């Protein structure tokens, strides 16, 4: 881990030196860049529990009743005409929860990839390593999302992926096409006993600057070959800037997984979500979210209850940009399930969970 951190710091130092040189001669822009992100938070759970943790399907802002760090990372990047690379090391409660299955130092690798442009006259790149996921409209970086907390579908689809990606951007930048070979469903290291290839695709279309349409897929198994259950997942969303002040994001995910190895029967999960954002000024954003997660048979979220995970969610978010680098956020959220799955004091379970989260983010680009 020390080696990786020192590498990131070295990239940052070279970036700073090259930037100074560029300013001095006034001719070139450095291919090196450094960025940093810090997000601290406090979450108040109105049904307090003894271990200060949110349910296991919540990976961001998952500690209650305490001030904590959700995510902090330092990233170094190199972008040339034909070669590019990224390295970012991270820490925080998000990392502890979402990378729990990864061994050793890999738990702290937020991003580590390199790419080469393989067509001289076309924007066609081959990238390999640990990369941001090709699924979903929300990322682990809070400032880039319309709501403070992540939607249920974002929390339970990959935030990152490891493998090889072939990506193409059209000359007018309206189309982006990608195909990926992956180690699994949000995996750095492949599951023991698994040799099944996993694949993904992505098609993004931006007909105007105000509209983004996306369709992504995943095909693979996240279990050992001895109990292989193939999963087929579809992620569809649209982001619409309706006016200077109003924005709308809508999404619908649907996935299916074999009930058992070799079975022709499948369990299905589907998730609609909608976020409406209002920006009365350049410093203020207000967002309202509605969502429903249907996973009766525990394809992704297992509850062990009669109705499985069938949960509605609503939230209201307020953002204030204190400066270009700093943002304060506060959000009220309620989750309501058909079964009593939310923990409280002792063994007390409830069908509802209501909580209030506030966060302070700092970003250096």
Q: What percent of the chain has pLDDT over 90?
A: 88
315 vs 43, 92, 288, 343, 358, CA distance in Å?
A: 14, 24, 6, 20, 13
pLDDT, tens digit (0-9, with 9 covering 90-100), for 288-323 = 999 999 999 999 999 999 999 999 999 999 999 999
Mean pLDDT, the chain, integer: 92
Residue 3 lies in a domain: no
The residue behind tokens 């020390």 is: 2
At residue 346, the pLDDT reads: 65
pLDDT, tens digit (0-9, with 9 covering 90-100), for 5-37 = 444 434 344 333 343 333 333 445 899 999 999
At residue 19, the pLDDT reads: 37
Q: How many domains does the chain have?
A: 1
pLDDT, tens digit (0-9, with 9 covering 90-100), for 250-263 = 999 999 999 999 99
At residue 347, the pLDDT reads: 72
Q: Which residue has the higher pLDDT, 365 or 313?
A: 313
Average pLDDT over residues 321-340: 97
CA gap 63, 138 in Å, rounded: 20
Residue 222 lies in a domain: yes
Does this model's pTM top 0.95? My answer is: no
Supply the CATH number for residue 238's domain: 2.40.160.10
Residue 1 lies in a domain: no
Residue 12 lies in a domain: no
pLDDT, tens digit (0-9, with 9 covering 90-100), for 97-124 = 999 999 999 999 999 999 999 998 999 9
Q: How many other C-beta atoms can be found within 10 angstroms of the C-beta atom of residue 64?
A: 20
CA gap 136, 143 in Å, rounded: 16
Average pLDDT over residues 49-58: 90
Q: How confident is the model at residue 1 (pLDDT cuts 50, 70, 90)?
A: very low
Supply φ then ψ for residue 154, to 5 degrees: -70, -40
Residue 25 lies in a domain: no
Residue 19 lies in a domain: no
Supply φ then ψ for residue 311, to 5 degrees: -135, 130
Residue 13 lies in a domain: no
- Domain ranges, residue 346: 32-364
At residue 28, the pLDDT reads: 57
pLDDT of 186 above 90: yes
CA gap 163, 180 in Å, rounded: 7
Residue 6 lies in a domain: no
pLDDT, tens digit (0-9, with 9 covering 90-100), for 119-155 = 989 999 999 999 999 999 999 999 999 999 999 999 9
pLDDT of 66 above 60: yes
135 vs 139, 217, 233, CA distance in Å?
A: 9, 7, 10
What are the b/e assignments for 149-173, b being 16+ CB within 10 Å?
Answer: bbbbbbbbbbbbbbbebebebeeee
């Amino acid at each position: 881990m020390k080696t990786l951190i020192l590498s990131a710091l070295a990239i940052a130092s070279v970036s700073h030196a090259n930037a100074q040189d560029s300013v001095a001669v006034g001719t070139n822009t450095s291919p090196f860049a450094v960025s940093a992100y810090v997000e601290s938070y406090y979450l108040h759970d109105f049904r307090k529990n003894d271990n200060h943790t949110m349910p296991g399907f919540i990976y961001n802002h998952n500690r209650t009743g305490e001030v904590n760090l959700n995510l902090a990372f330092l990233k170094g990047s190199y972008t040339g005409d034909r070669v590019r690379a990224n390295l970012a090391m991270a820490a925080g409660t998000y990392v502890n929860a979402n990378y729990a299955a990864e061994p050793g130092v890999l738990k702290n690798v937020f991003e580590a990839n390199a790419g080469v442009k393989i067509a001289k006259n076309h924007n066609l790149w081959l990238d390999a390593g640990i990369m941001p996921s090709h699924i979903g409209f929300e990322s682990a970086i809070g400032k880039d999302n319309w709501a403070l907390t992540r939607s249920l579908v974002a929390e339970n689809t990959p935030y990152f992926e490891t493998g090889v990606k072939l990506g193409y951007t059209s000359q007018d930048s309206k189309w982006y096409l990608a195909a990926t070979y992956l180690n699994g469903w949000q995996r750095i290291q492949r599951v023991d006993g698994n040799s099944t290839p996993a694949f993904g695709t992505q098609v993004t279309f931006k007909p105007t600057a105000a509209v983004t349409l996306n369709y992504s897929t995943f095909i693979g198994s996240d279990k050992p070959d001895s109990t292989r259950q193939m999963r087929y997942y579809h992620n569809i969303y649209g982001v619409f800037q309706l006016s200077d002040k109003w924005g709308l994001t809508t999404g619908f995910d649907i996935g299916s997984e074999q009930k058992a190895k070799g079975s022709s029967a499948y369990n299905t999960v589907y998730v609609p979500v909608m976020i409406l954002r209002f920006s009365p000024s350049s410093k203020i954003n207000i967002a309202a979210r509605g969502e429903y997660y249907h996973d009766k048979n525990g394809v992704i979220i297992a509850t062990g209850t009669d109705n499985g995970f069938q949960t509605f969610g609503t939230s209201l978010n307020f953002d204030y940009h204190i400066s270009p680098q700093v943002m304060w956020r506060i959000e009220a959220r309620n989750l309501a399930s058909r079964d009593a799955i939310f923990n409280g004091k002792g063994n007390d379970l409830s069908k509802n969970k209501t909580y209030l989260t506030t966060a302070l983010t700092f970003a250096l680009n």
